[in-house]
Amino acid sequence: MIRIRLDELTLGRVRIAISPLWEAYSSLALTLRYRSEIPYPYTKWAATVLPRVPPALYKELAGTVRAQWKKPTASPLTPIPTSPSPAIEDELKALLAVGQDRFAHLMSEYWATAVAPYWPDMRNVLEEEILVRGRALVTGGSDLLLQNLGGRIRWENPELSVPHQTDLDWPLADSRLIIVAVLFARGNTRIFSTLHDTAAFSYQAQGAAVLGGPPRDTGAPHDHVRPRDRLTALLGRGRTAVLRSLLSPTTTTGVANSLGLAPSTVSQHLAALNSAGLVRRHRVGSRVLYELDEFGVVLLSELGD
């Protein structure tokens, strides 16, 4: 457990970001932790990409990451994002700047195989996460943001308790705290990094179900019925389209706009899918978001291709 103590100046400087490098690092850490028993919703992702990662590349990366686990922070391998949404190229350059040339080369190869094909959908989900959390920060301040990060993260002013493999007390005075949304966190804080007067940690972002499907085929129209489409035969065209649109958390209005359907029609489909246990709903502030539940991911995986 990491216990971060924030003074008032630091509390006013809390910011949220995403990081493709942190996602790649976290995805690798997840495979090392669970090995052949990769949990939902990462099972299909792992089965798809891991056979494509060269064994020598994976072995060397695994050794580097495991060695870093024994240290209090992952700072050398996971530079703190310098903007709310940095590009992977910039983050790899940051690794080079601190002398991590070999790790940067390995991660570039791993990224291209394991994460890049999924990144467009992941980025859409993460940008929505930033938007939702940013609204909480603006409307309720850092207190509201920190209270609602989920998982086992606990905020009792002035102490933020973050689950981690190390036991650490980290006071922050007149500093900055960056909270990095990560889809591959699997409910855990996989990364804690520090640099000068700044600390950053990862947390589980909403919408990891996006990793339960294949990379999005952006060229296909939303209402296209695929040959021998078993899912449409089972659920009907409307509910199938709604189910497929929920790879990332979305509002009723968002689904309606993306599919060109009336909100009332989408609402009926969502209610039926929710009752069947295929999707779940959760409230974030004044917004109600829908996303795939575990059974919805399984159904898409088995019948949705």
What is the pLDDT confidence band of residue 215, given thresholds at 50, 70 and 90?
A: low
pLDDT at 29 over 70: yes
What value does the mean pLDDT of the chain take?
86
pLDDT at 42 over 50: yes
Would you tell me which CATH number, out of the four given (3.30.70.20, 1.10.10.10, 1.10.3720.10, 3.30.390.50), belongs to the domain 217-303?
A: 1.10.10.10
- Within its chain, how far is the Cα of 29 from the centroid? 14
Q: Average pLDDT in the 154-163 region?
A: 91
What is the pLDDT confidence band of residue 225, given thresholds at 50, 70 and 90?
A: very low
Q: Where are the domains of the chain?
A: 2-209, 217-303
Q: Which pLDDT does position 98 carry in this prediction?
A: 92
Q: How many CB atoms lie within 10 A of CB 220?
A: 9
What is the pLDDT confidence band of residue 217, given thresholds at 50, 70 and 90?
A: very low
Q: Average pLDDT in the 230-246 region?
A: 83
Closest by CA to 65, choosing from 78, 48, 51, is: 78
- Within its chain, how far is the Cα of 118 from the centroid? 11
Of 303 and 85, the one with more pLDDT: 85
pLDDT at 226 over 80: no
Q: Average pLDDT in the 50-66 region?
A: 95
Closest by CA to 16, choosing from 192, 171, 177, 190, is: 177
Q: Average pLDDT in the 60-83 region?
A: 86
